[in-house]
Structure 1
Amino acid sequence: MFGILGLDPAAERVYQELVTSGSSNATDLAERAALSDDAVRAALGQLSELGLITKQVGKREGYSAAPPAVALGALLAEQRHALYRAELGLASLAEAYRSASSDGSARDLVEVLIGAHAVRHRFEQIQMSANSELHVMSEATHEVVASGESVAEEQAVDRGVRYHVIIERAMLDFPGAFEGLTAHMKHQQLCRVVEKVPTKLVVADRSVALVPLSGGSNPDGGEPAAMFVRAPGLIRLLIGLYESVWERAVPVRLVEPNVIELDEPETEPTGLDLRILSLLMVGATDATIAKQLGLGLRTVQRRVAHMMDLAKVSTRLQLGWQACHRGWLG
């Protein structure tokens, strides 16, 4: 919780013990916090250096916590001031970067990145700097960052950044793909599926973008390369491309499973049925659905037939239309 203030987990635990339990000595703290004596001594040294505890002098050496509102408040104020200085430094460096070349403005609008490390680093930066939304197109094959590997993605979601993601249908064949999509969509992320995306793409806040210059898995063995774009005209072009693909893509809808009451006749699709239907609507085959949901192929086919009976249709195309008409998938 307070790692940004310079506290490691052991120091934070010791401080919490002193706050909640009052003054104590190192031996008692080690027992209550379930830490070794050496870890407690190191934690006490760190806390003392930060001004979060005071040492009591007497017959038995002990420690007491400084008031959190005062002690931690001072550290927070110091961090805010440091962040403000860093922002000023960033602005100064950005201005120096633009002025370093006679054509600095043009150089700042488009940058070519060479190498997997450079591309991955900029991809993470774009997600970490996003304030409100990210538009992503993802291929089934990956060259630098595989789906779900980005740590910055989880941090962006925690900050409230909304993802709009278009994936290729082949990605549904990967083990755990549907569970991964479901987990993402619980955080208000939107996802659609197409047969093939024209390119990988990530656009943050409609202001910066990253587009690969090398394609697929780069079979020629050359280093991955990408173009980092800030030029407003190019950003509008890329957003237009994204929106045209989004319009023809099939939505993936979040359907929670529910309990199937086997003793009563089913008059509506069950949660399992709707999960199967959700995958059918994005073009997954029966075999793919069975693999993703851990079912037998005949079970999937039987549940599809059951939904067709409920909808009173004879083809899967009609089932899709009825599902939309009846609002089965929200």
Structure 2
Amino acid sequence: MIGVFEPGSDSARVYRALVSHPGTSPAQLAELAGLAEPRVRRALAELGRVDMVTRSGETWDAQRPDVVATSVLRGFDAWRSTVRETEEELMSLFRFARTRDSRSLNVEVLDSPAETFAVYEQLQDAVRDQVRGIDRPPYYWDEAELARQEQRQLEQMAAGIAYRTIYQESKRDSPLRSASMMRTIASGEKARILREPPVKLTITDDQAAILALDPPPGAEGSLVVLLVHPSGFLDTLIRIFESLWRLAVPADVVDADQELSAGDREILSLMASGATDDAISRRLGMSRRTVVRRAARLLERLGASTRFQAGVQAAHRGWL
């Protein structure tokens, strides 16, 4: 279609001749356009397929140029939209493929589950302070490996290493993983629950991370696992973990009695709306001291450190 507006093309020359000389035969058009008649007939057939010319017996006429231009521009807009969508898809694949050569991010690609397990063991040996993790499906450890890793974690915690883990809320889909989680929590692991954690992640101290990435649509293979060394990228992963930790729900809250009294529900709703203790006291007709005490108990029950966080977690649990 765009050929109509490309000077010198057969379509443009034939169409221009028809604009100036309506009701013209192919032989006459060949003379007017300076083309051989077979080329004129091919151009007319092409233009006719997209309704830019009309035929009446042995003569032809041009569709209105403004109608043709609108049709061309509409097609170009659709083409441009397709190009943009394809660009986004290809760029996603481009970036994904080049994670294998992301030296600027100070990362290595771990090519197999066996290599991932081996690196995880090395990081466990080197940890001195804390391990932070985001645990979500899919799981690749069999029962024996899971038991071994659980025992290793229990030994590390007994030696004073702190563990904080964000689990996916669908933990019940894996009975073995759920049972292991409950045992590590009982032994001192700090655990929280998030409905849909974005990645699988383990951070040891502030020195290294193992990050598992789901491939984008159209990419071959399954997870890509990266070992991230000290870098701005690692710092970003640490900040992401801490942000998700603040928004996640403490694991003991998820399985606890979730009934609230009407008074606590009112206090929680007002807290989430940003009301001060004095405002809540006046609204509910209770002393400020009582409001402070009950608000503190609600924060503790939700495992929240701020009222905003308490509101997010309460809404997540269906308390508001």
Could you state the TM-score of these two structures normalised by the residue count of structure 2? 0.44
Could you state the TM-score of these two structures normalised by the residue count of structure 1? 0.43
Structure (1 or 2) with the greater helix fraction? 2
Larger radius of gyration: 2
